[in-house]
Amino acid sequence: MWPDLIPVLPHDLALECLSRLHFSLYPLASRVSPQWRHLLHSHFFYSHRKKSGHTRYLACLIQALPPQFSPRALKHTSSPTYGITVFDPLTLTWERLPSVPDSALGLPLFCQTAGCRGSLVLMGGWDPVSYEPLTDVFVYDFRTTKWRRGKEMPSKRSFFAMGSCGDRVYVAGGHDEGKNALKTASVYNVGEDEWWELPPMSQERDECEGRMVGEEFWVVSGYRTEQQGMFEGWAEAYGLRSGQWRGVEGVWERGRCPRWCVGVGKDGRLVSWGELDSEVRVGVCGVTLGSRAMVIGSEYEGGRHGFYVQQGQNCKLRNIRVPDDFSGFVQSGCCVEI
């Protein structure tokens, strides 16, 4: 399909050479030839890198920006401006993605993200000025380093569960414009830029958290409209093969908010990132990065946020140095495999 990738080298060897390119070189490498561009942008190349173990796990964080990066319209308000920070746990490097289209005032508040086959999907949230819920969807392709608009969400929902598998993003629960908890669910196909409705859950779940566990999309905890703040201790799991929901009892501490602090252990059980270490008890956000995990949080209310990487058999947290421009509060995050 891609002849003469590298002159005088056999095709298989040339493919192996290109599969070892760092993702940051993709835009430059795409200019070498039409064959290279088509290969680097293909799903085949992503699958080949994944199969051969050459993909990278990046943490994409919704993070408060330093004051000097805030838009003028928000400089004199108490609301922080958010952007997307990318952290590479192998090289311990930090960078910031370009702004999403039409986002002069920063990212939507409480927007959510998911990684899909080398791309970052961002959706929902509130307008930073009016606080109106949004249905916008944006997709950032790390191969082209560009954003594109996706098809809008079918309905407005806030504080919903979100998870991804392959090229699909699953959303469920949250609440509508009237603060009514929802039990509806939908799936977004990134490649086809289409939404499909899923069967509803058995009950409404506001402020729930989404995680992929094996071949299931789990919606963890949350509460009903008439039970504000009374978080459930069980989850509902949507089978990607069966297309049905099932209840999973006793997987979360009843009364504990699950937002952005739910992890999945190696045994498939749910863990709370806030229980790993006494230094990350408040404002906790965790992102699983292959065999590693990144955990951000503080020891007490109002304390300085620390950034840690968890790795190895003992699962201890190792503090990492963070440049000043990337030390702001982290609201949420996800992993993108490139």
Half-sphere exposure for 191 (CA within 13 Å, toward CB):
11
Beta bridge partners of 199: none
Question: Residue 77 has what pLDDT?
Answer: 56
Q: How far apart are CA 328 and CA 66, in angstroms?
A: 7
Q: How far apart are CA 329 and CA 318, in angstroms?
A: 19
Question: Residue 8 has what pLDDT?
Answer: 86
Confirm if 298 and 93 have CB atoms less than 8 A apart. no
* Model confidence, pTM: 0.92
Confirm if 170 and 192 have CB atoms less than 8 A apart. no
Question: Residue 71 has what pLDDT?
Answer: 57
Give the DSSP H or E segment for 283.
Answer: strand 282-289
Half-sphere exposure for 326 (CA within 13 Å, toward CB):
20
**End-to-end alpha carbon distance in the chain:** 22
- The per-residue pLDDT for range 3-40, each reduced to its tens digit, is 688 988 898 999 999 999 988 899 999 999 999 999 99
Question: Residue 70 has what pLDDT?
Answer: 59
Query: What residue ranges define each of the domains in the chain, with the CATH number in brackets?
Result: 11-51 (no CATH), 57-259+324-337 (2.120.10.80)
Q: Which residue has the tokens 């469920």?
A: 172
Question: Residue 312 has what pLDDT?
Answer: 61
Which residues, including other chains, have CB under 8 Å from residue 228's CB and lie 6 or more apart?
none
- The per-residue pLDDT for range 59-80, each reduced to its tens digit, is 999 999 987 665 555 555 567 8
Residue ranges, the chain, pLDDT below 50: none
